[in-house]
Structure 1
Amino acid sequence: MIVILSVKHIVAITQHNSFRGLGLAQVRSREVECNRIRYFFVVILVSISSFVIGGCSALKPVMSPLADIEGVSGHFHAGQIVNLNTGEVISFDQLIDALGSRGVIFVGEVHSNPDHHLIEVQILQALTAQCGTLTVAMEFFQETHQKDVDRYIEGTINEGEFLEDVKWKKRWGFDYHFYRPLLLEAKEKGGRVLAINAPEDIVKKVARSGLNSLSTDERSQLAGSIDLENERHRDYLRKVYKEHVHTDLKNFEYFYQAQCVWEDTMAENISRFLKNNKKRMLVFTGNGHIINKFGIPKRVSGRIPVNMATIMLYPLAGRTAISKEMADYVWLTGDYSRKHFMIHHRHHHRMPTPSDEKSGKK
């Protein structure tokens, strides 16, 4: 404000006293001088403002999101890979060396996070280089579309036909360009791509009306054995359910049955394939299906003996607490959603709530 007043003051004085008794040419010359004075002080004003604003910004630095890991001192940040069994930060090469000895590797993602899809391609490339051709199992396709997936990988249909046949937009819905590099990498390397997801319509029916509501044909499309007895899993999903439906728990049992149907069916599809094929397998799925291993991983190990590992790709938003039981490895990344990964998991293949039944939503 002081500078602005000084400019006005100087200009006023110049205009008032300096133009008296001058000819037209001299007046114009003095006007040019006044304009130069105005410009000079504007430059000073802008420079001072920039300095002040910059100084204020320096006094209030933006804090990077950090993670605290249970039982480990210090903080962790995006870009780091942590061995949760030891609490140590490891390199990408160390991660691949550790994973290379495992028969089944579960990689959990946030479906809408672009970083996660790039990381998945890197993991597939590195493990293929180290171990040879892998079987790649994907939650992104329902088991009923296995023949469509096979035809695309074999090259008998083009990409457009493939997306139409598997009903990508209807059945999965996330941007295909996120997943395209991973599919192309698997296709190029010549490995089998396994569709493992349960039929969505049947899972939703269980969420609405329970397992006992299924017809004989519908029940035959799911895992033969559905484990509903894991109390830690049940407690975890009860918390998810409370956040998801914002109502009482009168329908929680159906919700829980649907989640177990979902995960046991994927586990059975994986196990059935591995019984007849001894190749290493890389499984890509949402984080919610592998967290604490009580989703798909333990349901696979309950069916067949398997040497497995889990790695979660975990977005950091603010200060985050991570349990050492969450996975064997965690790869910390940026967050693009403003929401925690479990929200993405809950809204994917959204299960009906009691209010949906009243409104007719499916």
Structure 2
Amino acid sequence: MSAKPAAIDASAVTYEPGTILSSETGKPITVDMLLDDLSSAGVVYIGERHTNARHHDIQLEILNGLQQRELPIAVGMEMFDRTYNAILENWSRGGLEETELIQQTHWYANWRYDYALYRPILDFVRTHQVPLIGLNIPFHLPAKIATGGLANLQSFDREFLPEDIDLSDEAHRAYVQEIFEMHKMRGRDNFDYFYEAQCTWDEAMAESIAAALNSEILVVIVGNGHIVNKFGIPQRAYRRSRVPFRTVYLAEAGQEFDLDQGDFIWITSKEKVKPHPPP
């Protein structure tokens, strides 16, 4: 077997937006080839840069492609915490108006990004009555852990923690430390606390994914940072479930990337949208 190509320097190799690379071969594939591969997975992770509208178009394209193959699917989203799952079930069944979903899940207090970016995905869920699962823990917790660490959480916060939090992955730790050094914030200058927060966040969503697995393909909509190199959520969910998965990492044109960042790398345009104030 030939060695897998590892690194692609976007400054040396120019890929047009819309190019999809297989990390196994380093070669471009078609959308149909991608969907054929994803169809065999139990979990499909699709990353995003939250403000890139094209990334959400691609997520919807994959959802539509799987649904058109008459495959049973469910959708898990980072954008909702798991205490809202009864509300999300009501949405999937057509029991809520959009304004009610936004209000009842405290969208703009929690997620904060423009709902319009996610509207087509959430409309797809409701139209096709696809099960929708909130993956996150209550949104105040990662920030609280990053400031004071896990040991200082009160009992009413501890009830939301995942049962198992693995802090031992050195490659993941190095990746998170690089991010920490770039984005140090006042009051969050303790890397150990920051790393505890990141791992708690990833482990909680991995736990939610493992608990939600059923006969459907679970399509996970989540930020790129949680799936890059598979050591955030994907490997942690696999540790719990042993269900095979695929990752689709969305890289903007001109961005330097490594094929190890995902099973598939989809090159996209840069389409950052201006934030809209909440209604």
Q: TM-score, normalised by structure 2?
A: 0.90
Q: Return the alpha-carbon distance in structure 2 between the equivalents of residues 281 and 181 of structure 1.
A: 18
Secondary structure at the aligned position of 2:203 is classed as helix
Q: Which amino acid aligns with 1:329?
A: F
- How many angstroms apart in 1 are the aligned matches of 2:187 and 2:97? 48
What's the offset of the Cα at 1:106?
0.3
Instruction: State the Cα deviation string for residues 286-338 of structure 1 (Å, max 9, x = none).
Output: 0000000000000001111111100011112x4x3321210000110111349
Query: Which string of whole-angstrom CA distances, capped at 9 and with x for unpartnered residues, describes residues 176-222 of structure 1?
Result: 11101111111111220000011111221111100011122311211
Alignment partner of 1:163 out of 94, 102, 106: 102
Rounded Cα–Cα distance in structure 2 between residues aligned with 1:303 and 1:131? 28
Q: In structure 2, give the amino acid aligned to 1:78.
A: P
Give the aligned residue type for 2:242.
P
**Pair 1:329-2:268 in alignment:** no
Classify the secondary structure of the residue corresponding to 2:47: strand
Q: CA offset at residue 236 of structure 1?
A: 0.6
Is 1:308 equivalent to 2:245 in the alignment? yes
5+ residue gaps, structure 2:
1-6, 274-279
How far does residue 131 in structure 1 lie from its aligned partner after superposition?
4.2
Report how far residue 91 of structure 1 moved.
0.8
Runs of 4 or more, structure 1, over 6 Å off, are 246-249
Structure with the bigger percentage of helix: 1
- The percentage of counterpart residues that share the same residue type is 35
CA contact (8 A) 1:223 1:268 kept: yes
Query: What are the residue-to-residue correspondences of 1:177-216 with 2, within 5 Å?
Result: 177-216=116-155
What secondary structure, in the 3-state scheme, does the structure 2 residue paired with 1:77 have? coil
How many residues align? The count is 265
Aligned 1:21-36 pairs, distance under 5 A: none
| Residue matched to 1:235 | 174
Query: Deviations 1:211-253 (Å, cap 9, x if unpaired)?
Result: 0111223112111000100000000111100000178995000
Alignment correspondent of 1:284: 221
Is the deviation greater in 248-257 or in 230-239?
Answer: 248-257
Pairwise CA distance, 1:153: 1.6
Cα deviation 1:82-121 (Å, max 9, x = unaligned)? 1111101011111111111111100001110011111111
What is the TM-score normalised by the length of structure 1? Answer: 0.70
Could you say which residue in structure 2 is the equivalent of 1:293?
230
Amino acid at match of 1:188: T
Greater relative contact order (Cα < 8 A, sep 6+): 2
Distance 1:221 1:246, change over 3 A: closer
* Deviation for aligned residue 1:132: 2.3
| Structure 1 counterpart of 2:23 | 84
Q: Which amino acid aligns with 2:208?
A: N
Q: Is the 8 A contact 2:72 2:215 kept in 1?
A: no
Q: How does 1:212-223 map to 2 (within 5 A)?
A: 212-223=151-162
2:69 partner SS? helix
Unaligned runs of 5+ in 1: 1-67, 339-362
Which residue in 2 is equivalent to 1:268? 207
Alignment of 1:6-85 (within 5 A): 69=8, 74-85=13-24
Which of 32, 37, 40 is residue 98 of structure 1 equivalent to?
Answer: 37
CA contact (8 A) 2:45 2:248 kept: yes
After superposition, what is the alpha-carbon deviation per residue over 1:36-55, rounded to whole angstroms, capped at 9, x for unaligned? xxxxxxxxxxxxxxxxxxxx
Q: C-alpha displacement at 1:79, in angstroms?
A: 1.6
Aligned Cα RMSD in Å?
A: 1.9
Structure having the higher Rg: 1
Give the Cα–Cα distance (whole angstroms) in 1 for the partners of residues 37 and 67 of structure 2: 14
Query: What residue in structure 2 maps to residue 254 of structure 1?
Result: 193
Q: Secondary structure at the match of 1:93?
A: helix
Secondary structure of residue in 2 paired with 1:82? strand
Instruction: Give 2:55's aligned residue.
Output: 116
On the 8 A contact 1:133/1:190 being kept in 2, the answer is no
